[in-house]
Structure 1
Amino acid sequence: MLAAARQHRHGSRPYYFTSANGEVIAQARAKSEIAALFREADQIFADGQPLVLASRLLCRTPLPERVATTDLFHDVAKLAENEAATFYLLGSTEAGNGKAVAAIRASYPRLRIAGHSHGYLTGEALDNKLDEIDALAPDILWLGLGVPREQVFVRDFGSRLSNVGVIKTSGGLFDHLGGKVQRAPLWIQKAGFEWLWRMLMEPRRLFWRYFTTNPRALYALLRYSQ
């Protein structure tokens, strides 16, 4: 990601990296417009252990590991401190964004945060924020708006951020960084059941989503993996 940011040519759309999990697969199979948004990405990370397991059983080229955005952020932040790369954090609520930024600064005091903002912007406020981000020219814009809002954001506004190196969609990253959402224990992550842990933590919000998307994602993995 840091190499891609350095190689990005100013004046062109930022490189666009996103992530897929079971919910994304289910949505992409159900809606062609969602699939099209993901096909525009320069790189898609497998943010779900079931995808990794399915690739090892069903695909010619297995995925080496899961790339969870909540883990990836820390890997990139450590390198960015040494390379003086800059971040911009856009997403979550104002309080959630602020807590995430505070936690990041505490963990990575040498990390250069060019700016940050909550993700609930529209109209003139959004236009001004886009101009601000482009003027600051961060190497990496971490975009946490949720699927498919963040993918739509890249489609609609990516060309206005031509001084940004990389946009990485980030889902609920800021809530994890700020401590609002707790990660599952490592053994649960490796077993491929972090989705179950999350559902138990937030049953009202996630039960119906997983109940409807997981079977469709499983069917898609079994039917279309190559």
Structure 2
Amino acid sequence: MVKRRIPVLDIMIDAVTMAEAVKIVENFIAEQRTRFVATANAEMVMMAQTDPVLAGILNRADLVIPDGAGVVWAARYHQYAMPERVAGYDLVQQLLAKSARSGYRVYFFGGAPGVAEQARTWAEARYPGVNVVGVRDGYFTAQDEPEIINTIKLCKPDILLAGLGVPKQEKWLTKHLNELNVPVAIGVGGTFDVMAGVVIRAPLWMQKANLEWLYRLLSQPQRALRMLALPRFMLKVAVAKKD
């Protein structure tokens, strides 16, 4: 399919549905080339405003899904047709279900010690037959990187899910993408924490009402400073429209 990219504060976001995003990732796997997928929300877009390296990574990514409701709102506010939010967590669940049916090999990399293992246990219970070929926590030093890269290569995943936090995961994946030689690498933020039960996701009605940010703020008040990115994002989008 031909993707259409939409600018949100100069960061290009793919106007795709969930079904289209899954199909694109499956095509990437079939092509057996190294591809990078980013999950862009308002916080990431705001980081990119002051981090040119991150901005360049996002604009060169093979697929940038509209992970946050704020990104979808911004696109529509500027009269672009953004079909729907494609949450990174939900994309991962779709791909794990595909793994159970099609045998795609998946590697979990990230989270605190033990979290990736818990996420794998949860995935194996929810998606019988899912092919998680390896896990590794996200606590490491530069000296550990050659061993990490070699281990991932030996596991030969079709999909590498990296939950190292933004922008570390985006920078680490793109720096080592050719060495890793994986068909698809995706930065997935806190997905493993949710799968492992460390973090509880907002109820479905709040997700549908675009209030997931409010749930995160109420359940994790320590995120308050980070959450200030959302009103700043909305103000910047509104000012950009006037310009």
* TM-score normalised over the length of structure 1: 0.90
Q: Matches of 1:185 and 1:123 in 2, distance apart?
A: 38
* Letter matched to residue 225 of structure 2: W
Give the 3-state SS of the residue equivalent to 2:36 in structure 1: strand
Q: Matches of 1:112 and 1:194 in 2, distance apart?
A: 30
Q: Matches of 2:27 and 2:78 in 1, distance apart?
A: 32
Q: CA deviation at 1:220?
A: 3.1
Match of 1:4 in 2: 28
State whether structure 2 residue 210 is matched by structure 1 residue 192.
yes
Identity within the alignment, %: 30
Q: Work out which of the residue numbers 51, 54, 57 in structure 2 matches 1:31.
A: 51
Match of 2:77 in 1: 57
Q: Matches of 1:97 and 1:80 in 2, distance apart?
A: 17
Deviations 1:106-140 (A, max 9, x none): 11220111111001122342211101111221100
Answer whether contact 1:96 1:174 (CA < 8 A) is retained: yes
Q: Matches of 2:203 and 2:188 in 1, distance apart?
A: 20
Aligned residue pairs total 218
* Letter matched to residue 208 of structure 1: L
State whether structure 2 residue 195 is matched by structure 1 residue 177.
yes
Match of 1:17 in 2: 37
Answer whether contact 1:92 1:118 (CA < 8 A) is retained: yes
Q: Matches of 2:100 and 2:240 in 1, distance apart?
A: 41
Q: Matches of 1:37 and 1:3 in 2, distance apart?
A: 21
Match of 1:77 in 2: 96
Structure 1, unaligned stretches of length 5 or more?
Answer: none
Deviations 1:31-88 (A, max 9, x none): 222212212211101111122233223233x211111111111111112211111100
* Pairwise CA RMSD: 1.7
State whether structure 2 residue 179 is matched by structure 1 residue 160.
yes
Match of 2:227 in 1: 210
Match of 1:109 in 2: 128
Q: Matches of 1:216 and 1:31 in 2, distance apart?
A: 16
* Letter matched to residue 186 of structure 2: K
Q: Matches of 1:91 and 1:55 in 2, distance apart?
A: 30
- Structure 1 residues 219, 33: CA separation in 2 closer, same or farther (over 3 Å shift)? farther
Q: CA deviation at 1:219?
A: 2.6
Q: Work out which of the residue numbers 137, 151, 156 in structure 2 matches 1:137.
A: 156
Q: CA deviation at 1:8?
A: 2.0
Q: Matches of 2:230 and 2:86 in 1, distance apart?
A: 19
* Letter matched to residue 64 of structure 1: P
Give the 3-state SS of the residue equivalent to 2:114 in structure 1: helix
